[in-house]
Amino acid sequence: MLKSILDIIPKSYRRRGLWVAATVFLRAILNFVGVAMFVPILMLTLKPEGGSRVLDRFSELFAVDDHSEMVLAVCGIVLVVIVVKSLIVMLLHSYEQNFIFSFYKQVSQKLFLSYYERGLGYIKQHNSSHIARNINVAGLMFATGVLRPIAAILGEALLLVMVFIALAIYAPIAALLTLVVFLPVMSIFWLAVRRRLHDIGVRENDVQRHKSRVVSETFRGYADIEIGGAKELMFSVFNDDVDKVSDLRKRHATLSQLPQILVEIGVVVGMILVVLLSLDNGEDMALMFGIFAVVAIRLIPSVRNILSQWSLIKYNRYTIDILLDANVGEERVVAEESCEGMRLQNSIEFDGVSFKFEDADRPTIDTLSFTIARGEHIGICGASGVGKTTLFNLLLGLYRPTSGVIRIDGEELTARHIRKWQNSIGYVSQSLFIADSTIAENIALGVAKDKIDYDLVNEAVRLANLHSFIESLPNGLDTRIGEAGSRLSGGQRQRIGIARALYKGCDILLFDEATSSLDSVAEESINESLLALKRSNENLTIVLIAHRQSTLDNCNRIITLE
């Protein structure tokens, strides 16, 4: 597991991790000093008449002979040391937390980019709610449920070692009793929950992902679920998942109580042993009892914390596999995306292009060849499932051909050109993406709100024939249009897609069955808008997929896929 954790941590954070390890070590030393400060107080209480090597040495060092003065001096020094120690420990702990949450931030960013850059094919094969949960939860739980507990365990373990060594030197019997008490406690806990906590964590993650998917699908498909009478079924599935999460959390909470129970039992057993041993050696054993009690009071939280943090690591261990799969430990150089376009000068050429999905038996598109000249108005038709949308995804650069070549003005479309090519394309799909923001922000998609050029937006609105609709709204372009454009009609959504393409200054428009869900009036209105755009810009290239003949009537050519 440690090797996997190191593979997840980028090299830059490993170097910072050495400093964190140093702060953990220093914290352990300071906490040890805090424990040691109780010894002089204990000596003053159990041996007020003196005779302690510690107090005698203190008296010589500070030239204090009067017992009352010594008591005041010892108490004052102990108080000052404890206060200073606590402040330094807080600062060191703050430094460690900064490291943990800085790491969480970078891991979440890398998870987001890793899933995004795997492309449309990967996204279509995996449930979006699962991807969202991994991005939102896995990084945080690894940082706070694996890394932070490791630091805590390391600090507490160092403290235990230092205390045990000091006890072995100063009070061997107390050290032996400490070992007898705490070693079995940790062993019993290890044997009792070694596998159970990890299994509970994995199972809860699976249930939480399923529950997120159910919630997402329920509200996304509200109308169909309501009309189809499926609410009770969806709620029942959701309720079952909630019951499973509750049951798993209860089991985890029960197991998490074991450290406290076992430690308390062990300490009581240790004190009983001290009492039995003190029957024949009253004074010396009383002092040993006091030392054991002081050590136990400080070490009970340490041992309990070690066991609790270890259980937390086991519970969140599933995040390691998620982060390893996303290669978050690799150092990445995020290149600034180009804003330049790749203007079409002559033609788009498909030369023997084939595409096959990884899990498919045969290609969706097989050795397809055609050419689209600049300024053409091309229609693509064919039966459902023949590969029309796949062809568009290839043209958009979202899929890479399995074989064959796509050329733009005679130059092969490769990863080096895709961003510039996409900057020149306007894409309007049947299920156009609409963000829950204003109309202006949706038209200028990808542009920060304070950088939107409203002159360009208004021009795009005019060309897309949206101006009358915008003028009817109380807040105009600043009107929010609801999640997924829920306040828009189908025709208005498609016009926003057209306006979005025009805002980008695109000279290529791709329509993927964008009018198939519209009535004949709305469809005719959109077609008229496209003709108006063509008349205003004869170099505008339009490629559209359609089933209706009326949508294809204005095309220069029609390509039929079989």
Domain limits, the chain = 2-325, 347-561
DSSP for 460-526? HHHHTT-HHHHHTSTTGGG-B--GGGTTS-HHHHHHHHHHHHHHHT-SEEEEESTTTTS-HHHHHHH
Largest CA distance in the chain: 111
Place of tokens 């097989």: 366
Say yes or no to pLDDT of 22 above 60.
Answer: yes
**DSSP state letter for 438:** B
**DSSP state letter for 541:** E
Find out whether 96 and 21 touch, Cβ atoms under 8 Å.
no
250 dihedral zone (left: phi>0; alpha: psi -120 to 50; beta)? alpha
Q: How far is CA 368 from the centre of its chain?
A: 40
Q: How confident is the model at residue 80 (pLDDT cuts 50, 70, 90)?
A: confident
Which range has the worst mean pLDDT, 85-89, 151-155, 434-438?
434-438
Q: What's the rounded Cα separation, in Å, for the pair 561 and 551?
A: 17
Q: Which has the higher per-residue pLDDT, 77 or 353?
A: 353
How much is the pLDDT for 337?
57
How much is the pLDDT for 13?
81
The winner for highest mean pLDDT among 33-42, 121-130, 232-241, 499-508 is: 232-241
Find out whether 41 and 77 touch, Cβ atoms under 8 Å.
no
Q: In the predicted model, what is the mean pLDDT of residues 269-290? A: 61
Instruction: Return the ∠ at Cα 469 (arms to 464 and 475), rounded to 5°.
Output: 115
How much is the pLDDT for 333?
55
How much is the pLDDT for 64?
62
* Whether the model pTM is above 0.95: no
Q: What's the rounded Cα separation, in Å, for the pair 19 and 15?
A: 7
If one counts every other C-beta atom within 10 angstroms of the C-beta of residue 117, the result is: 9
Q: CB under 8 Å to 285, separation ≥6 — which residues?
A: 274, 277, 278
Q: How confident is the model at residue 290 (pLDDT cuts 50, 70, 90)?
A: low
Instruction: Return the ∠ at Cα 454 (arms to 450 and 455), rounded to 5°.
Output: 145
DSSP reduced 3-state for 195 = coil
Q: How confident is the model at residue 45 (pLDDT cuts 50, 70, 90)?
A: low
How much is the pLDDT for 320?
86
If one counts every other C-beta atom within 10 angstroms of the C-beta of residue 149, the result is: 21
Find out whether 375 and 363 touch, Cβ atoms under 8 Å.
no
Place of tokens 């755009």: 533
> Hey, which bits of 387-477 come out as E strands?
403-408, 411-412, 425-429
How much is the pLDDT for 97?
86
How much is the pLDDT for 194?
62
How much is the pLDDT for 259?
67
Which range has the worst mean pLDDT, 50-54, 206-210, 322-326?
50-54
How much is the pLDDT for 274?
64
Q: How confident is the model at residue 54 (pLDDT cuts 50, 70, 90)?
A: low
Find out whether 450 and 444 touch, Cβ atoms under 8 Å.
no
51 burial class (0-12, 13-18, 19+ CB within 10 angstroms)? exposed
Q: What's the rounded Cα separation, in Å, for the pair 330 and 175?
A: 46
Q: Pairing relation of β-strands 347-355 and 411-412?
A: unpaired
If one counts every other C-beta atom within 10 angstroms of the C-beta of residue 55, the result is: 21
Q: Is the CA virtual torsion 165, 171, 172, 178 positive or negative?
A: negative
Q: How confident is the model at residue 423 (pLDDT cuts 50, 70, 90)?
A: confident
Question: Residue 222: what residue type?
Answer: Y
Whether domain 2-325 has CATH 3.40.640.10: no
How much is the pLDDT for 430?
73
Percent of the chain with pLDDT strictly greater than 90:
1
CATH topology assigned to domain 347-561: Rossmann fold (3.40.50)
> Hey, which bits of 21-63 come out as E strands?
none
How much is the pLDDT for 9?
81
Place of tokens 């009107």: 479
Say yes or no to pLDDT of 438 above 80.
Answer: yes
How much is the pLDDT for 522?
66
Say yes or no to pLDDT of 496 above 70.
Answer: yes
Say yes or no to pLDDT of 36 above 80.
Answer: no
Q: CB under 8 Å to 66, separation ≥6 — which residues?
A: none
In the structure encoding, which two tokens stand for residue 20, read together? 């964190």
Instruction: Give φ, ψ of 472 to 5 degrees.
Output: -80, -10
Which range has the worst mean pLDDT, 129-143, 156-170, 261-275?
261-275
446 dihedral zone (left: phi>0; alpha: psi -120 to 50; beta)? left
Q: In the predicted model, what is the mean pLDDT of residues 353-367? A: 85
Say yes or no to pLDDT of 170 above 80.
Answer: no
In 134-257, alpha helices (H): 139-142, 148-170, 172-193, 196-220, 222-228, 231-256
Whole-number average pLDDT of the chain? 78
Q: For residue range 378-396, list pLDDT tens digits in order.
A: 888 888 778 888 888 888 8
In the structure encoding, which two tokens stand for residue 534, read together? 């063509």
How much is the pLDDT for 443?
84
Q: Which has the higher per-residue pLDDT, 138 or 228?
A: 138
Q: In the predicted model, what is the mean pLDDT of residues 400-409? A: 89
How much is the pLDDT for 465?
79
Find out whether 438 and 478 touch, Cβ atoms under 8 Å.
yes
If one counts every other C-beta atom within 10 angstroms of the C-beta of residue 56, the result is: 12
How much is the pLDDT for 62?
61
Find out whether 241 and 207 touch, Cβ atoms under 8 Å.
yes
How much is the pLDDT for 280?
58
Q: For residue range 194-204, list pLDDT tens digits in order.
A: 677 778 878 88
Q: How far apart are the first and last CA of the chain?
A: 52
Instruction: Return the ∠ at Cα 213 (arms to 207 and 244), rounded to 5°.
Output: 25
Beta bridge partners of 541: 508
Question: Residue 313: what residue type?
Answer: I
Q: How confident is the model at residue 16 (pLDDT cuts 50, 70, 90)?
A: confident
How much is the pLDDT for 261?
72
